[in-house]
Amino acid sequence: MKTTLLATLSALFVCTTAQAEILNSNYDSRHQTMLEQASLNACGVNGGKLTQLSSSVVKHNVDQGIIDYYFTTELELTVRIDQGVYDTYKVSVNSMLADAYDHAAQDWGIYSVEAISCK
């Protein structure tokens, strides 16, 4: 009984921590994961809570049905420094969704970060 309960709790913990989630974001999970990694690298921190403050999308018709999307996203990164002490960063990200096949993810759409700033 104890092993079954322990195995179930461990599986639940592994499943919930493996997903990147940006609060208030309706982006695809691959896009959120890319934004999270780029934000943490740009701000030089190991972890934190990301909240999407605003976003805009520009649709670019390339040619013969090929459509790329350009995203401008404003994020807030909150990092816990100590008990009750937090640092807050404003992150601005320009990203892109190219209408092509992503062989690494084995899915359509290649996400990339065009520019990022952390203040």
Residue-wise pLDDT for 71-95, tens only, equals 999 999 999 999 999 999 999 999 9
SS3 assignment for the chain: CHHHHHHHHHHHHHHHHCCCCCECCCCCHHHHHHHHHHHHHHHCCCCCEEEEEEEEEEEEEEECCEEEEEEEEEEEEEEEEECCEEEEEEEEEEEEEEEEEECCCCEEEEEEEEEEEEC
pLDDT score of 10: 47
Length of the chain as a residue count: 119
Over 70: is that where the pLDDT of 17 sits? no
Over 70: is that where the pLDDT of 28 sits? yes
Report the chain's mean pLDDT, rounded to a whole number. Answer: 88
More confident residue, 4 or 52: 52
Average pLDDT of span 89-103 = 97
pLDDT score of 20: 67
pLDDT score of 79: 97
- CATH number for the segment(s) 2-118: 3.10.450
What are the sequence ranges of the domains in the chain?
2-118
19 band by pLDDT with thresholds 50, 70 and 90: low
Average pLDDT of span 43-53 = 97
